[in-house]
Amino acid sequence: MRLKSYAIGKWVQGTGNFQNLYNPVNGEKVAEISSEGLDIKGMLEYAREEVGPKLRDKTFHARGRMLKKLAQHLMDRKKEFYPLSFQTGATKIDSWVDIEGGISTLFTYASKGRREIPDGKIWVEGNMERLSAEGTFVGQHVLVPLQGVAVHINAYNFPVWGMLEKFAPTFIAGMPAIIKPSPYSAFLAEKMVQAIVESEILPEGSLQLICGEPYDLLDHLTSQDVLTFTGSAETGKKLKSHPNIINNTVRFNMEADSINCSVLGEDITPEMDEFKYFVKEVANEMTTKAGQKCTAIRRTIVPQKIMNEVTEAIKERLARVKIGNPADAETRMGSLADKRYVELVNEKLELLKESLEVAYEGKEEFDENSAFVNPVLLKCDNPFETEIVHDIEAFGPVNSVMPYNSFADAIKIAKLGQGSLVASLYTLDNDAAKKFVFETGAYHGRINIINRYSAKESTGHGSPLPHMSHGGPGRAGGGEELGGIRGILKYMQRVALQGHPTNITKIGEQYLPGAEQTHDKVHPFRKYFEELEIGETLITHRRTVTESDVINFAGISGDYFYAHMDDIAAKESMFERRVAHGYFVLSAAAGLFVHPAPGPVMANYGLDNLRFIQPVYIGDTIYTKLTCKKKTYKEKREETDKPNGVVEWYVEVVNQEEDVVAVYTILTLVERKEDN
């Protein structure tokens, strides 16, 4: 089988100089790969000039809906990917993390893109900044998609997850992507891209694929492009220092292999649950993906007094690990991804063995054509004097256990890794956990704190989640990806807008205080979703607050706070006299603006950003300004549901002095006329 690239809307076969790819389990040839003759410059130009404008013409929510549909399509076809995954040396569990974990990332970003980003083409970010005394000159940050292409160069260990976790935020942001997988697992990446292309769900060209060498790819990147890389720190530095990347200030994000650690708290003893959880996770991290994980535990830091117990417990678990054919359901550790990695792991392992003692090394013998290796647990008695254990990483099932005499020493040892993707701490001592985070947080991208209360539902030390940031400082690359909505920002430009609130309201399709308001004889609650306009405002009739109102509300709510009910205490308070309940003011305001008759408004959907600005006293007269702030199209959950959308209303409650006494946003579910 000769792998193909997907470029400029078609599958392209490389020419000449094919590289052979082998099954690491049995040494059999599985594919040939070459990108020679591929028009890489043309791929970039096609993405920028033809695909990008089409993607940016869609709203964030429209792209989110496409991503959700794609995720459903790929999940329906998931069984097709497992046989190829086994040919990368991955077990069924390893493959599940890669394949279904990657597809789940699409679901997560599809959901977050529709729930946390406005339903528009420009993302209004944060609150308006008032830049002038009268409020006619204001500031507002907005985000717009970059007008280039995102190039993702991925590692060999997670050919599906690594591709999809980068593509998801790229697509939501509105950028086309070019994926360059590692040759050694490219046949699985190619299969996934085939399924994506065949679905015809995404706009053509949203995703292109380079199977083979990237050749002059970096020479053609511009300041509007983004380059991401996952792999070794050495390769990452070469990419980052490429003259064109520097000259054009191309955005670059690197996630590199790091020497991660797991720390057993000094409060934990061998009979405790935390001890068992710790040992189990260390062994799992050594053998999952045969240790080929950028997040794998490389340094196991334990109290000196129980170092022998920890070492023996890990050895016992490792001895029970079944190594073999990944397609076998009983197999718990597969092979490395390629035979060449066996040589690299053994080379680094020999360097480590010069300074460290071997505590455990499997004795199984494997076919010389395969890429299987035995797990190795090393023992480092002097972590402060043995620099190599903090510098050299054998990217396979290799780990080093080391002692500490005080928790302060454990913290120092953790920092000797010079920056990592993740550290984990097993403890019941919350003060120790707080100290660990404060002292080592600057050295780790993620810290996993585990004890008996969280262990059963924990996703594990080495599992990045789409909701949380993935990356780390120092030797981990200094980059960051995922992190929910944060991951999308890398593919967008933040623009600081300055001008009149009306101008910025029109640009961002979100009402800003001080912008022009429009009025209509028809009550806004009598209008369908499509009929409402941003800035449309209802000014209500007035209501005078009476003592009976306050007494009755206290009786209904049970709120007899002295400032509402006690004349003497209220007089001595900051209010100087009795005030109405804040929540009565909200209820009274609702009574002023709500239309009582049945209509397009289906339900109250929530209330946000409530602030009580000034007290409302007995005898004050209030009225309400209700302004259409933002509209969000909402998908139907069931075919029989009425089509609808969410409307956000900016509410100001004003007293007889024209002072604003309360501001907030309410959300209503409003029926749409059309199901489109």
Contacts of 43 (CB under 8 A, 6+ apart): 7, 8, 178, 208, 210
CB atoms within 10 A of CB 2: 11
Tell me how far apart the alpha carbons of residues 232 and 210 are, in angstroms, rounded to a whole number.
20
Structure tokens at 526: 């009598």
Handedness of CA 614, 618, 623, 628 (dihedral sign): positive
Tell me how far apart the alpha carbons of residues 459 and 403 are, in angstroms, rounded to a whole number.
26
User: Is beta strand 10-13 parallel, antiparallel or unpaired with respect to 4-7?
Assistant: antiparallel
Residues labelled catalytic: 255, 294
Tell me how far apart the alpha carbons of residues 176 and 169 are, in angstroms, rounded to a whole number.
11
355: left (phi over 0), alpha (psi -120 to 50) or beta: alpha
What is the DSSP secondary structure assignment for residue 36, as one 8-state letter?
Answer: T
Tell me how far apart the alpha carbons of residues 598 and 239 are, in angstroms, rounded to a whole number.
62
User: Is beta strand 226-231 parallel, antiparallel or unpaired with respect to 207-209?
Assistant: unpaired
Tell me how far apart the alpha carbons of residues 311 and 43 are, in angstroms, rounded to a whole number.
52
654: left (phi over 0), alpha (psi -120 to 50) or beta: beta
Tell me how far apart the alpha carbons of residues 458 and 622 are, in angstroms, rounded to a whole number.
51
Instruction: Give me the residue label for tokens 């035995």.
Output: 374
CB atoms within 10 A of CB 145: 23
Tell me how far apart the alpha carbons of residues 487 and 480 are, in angstroms, rounded to a whole number.
8
Contacts of 613 (CB under 8 A, 6+ apart): 659, 660, 661, 662, 663
What is the DSSP secondary structure assignment for residue 499, as one 8-state letter?
Answer: E
Longest dimension (CA), the chain: 94
Instruction: Return the amino acid letter for 574.
Output: M
CB atoms within 10 A of CB 485: 16
**Number of helices (H), then strands (E), in the chain:** 20, 27
User: Is beta strand 19-22 parallel, antiparallel or unpaired with respect to 207-209?
Assistant: unpaired
Strand order in the sheet with 226-231: 10-13, 4-7, 207-209, 177-180, 150-153, 226-231, 251-256
**HSE of 647 in the Cβ direction (CA atoms, 13 Å)?**
28
Q: Does residue 600 contact residue 670 with C-beta atoms inside 8 Å?
A: yes
Q: Please name which of 668, 534, 523, 486 lies closest in space to residue 116, comparing C-alpha atoms.
A: 486
SS (H, E, C) 380-396: CCCCCCCCHHHHCCCCC
Residue 604: phi and psi, rounded to 5, are -80, 130
Tell me how far apart the alpha carbons of residues 370 and 337 are, in angstroms, rounded to a whole number.
10
